[in-house]
Amino acid sequence: MECVFCKIINKELPAYIVYEDEDTMAFLDINPVSKGHLLVVPKKHYSRLSEIPQEELKRFFQGLQNVVKMVESNLSKHYNIVVNQGELAGQVINHLHFHIIPRYGNEQIFIWLTHKLSKEEAQEVLEKLGKNLIV
């Protein structure tokens, strides 16, 4: 299967590129949540954040920080950074990407559906992660 983001990175598909360095590229999302909604991607193909070697991750995060500074200086100091990992989490393109979604005050915000964490749920999760219950 062909990766759309790899094609953008290789300049095989057009995109509105706003940032590029050796390891990182950022471009406008074609289905934006808000004006200036950007996607920041590593230039090497990785599906998940956990796959990137540490040194490459450091360089990618430096590029991500450079994009965030551009957003803060030129669009809005208020934004969401969203990463969907896996199909159940909403990842549509199987190339790691960070959404930078500027907020201006006139758009809907994300609504997190939450519940009160029970001691039993905490214990179950902690056990799965190999940790002890902390009270």
Classify domain 4-108 at the CATH topology level: HIT family, subunit A (3.30.428)
Read off the pLDDT of each residue in 116-124 and give the average, rounded to a whole number.
Answer: 90
Segments making up each domain of the chain, as ranges: 4-108
Among 45, 78, 95, 97, the one annotated catalytic? 97
Residue 97 a catalytic site member? yes
User: Residue 60 has what DSSP assignment?
Assistant: H
Banded pLDDT at 1 (limits 50, 70, 90): low
pLDDT digits (tens, 9 = 90+) for 21-75: 999 999 999 999 999 999 999 999 999 999 999 999 999 999 999 999 999 999 9
The C-alpha atoms of residue 80 and residue 100 are separated, in whole angstroms, by: 6
How far is the C-alpha of 33 from the C-alpha of 64, rounded, in Å?
19
pLDDT at position 100 over 70: yes
For range 111-133, the mean pLDDT: 86
What's the predicted TM-score (pTM) here? 0.89
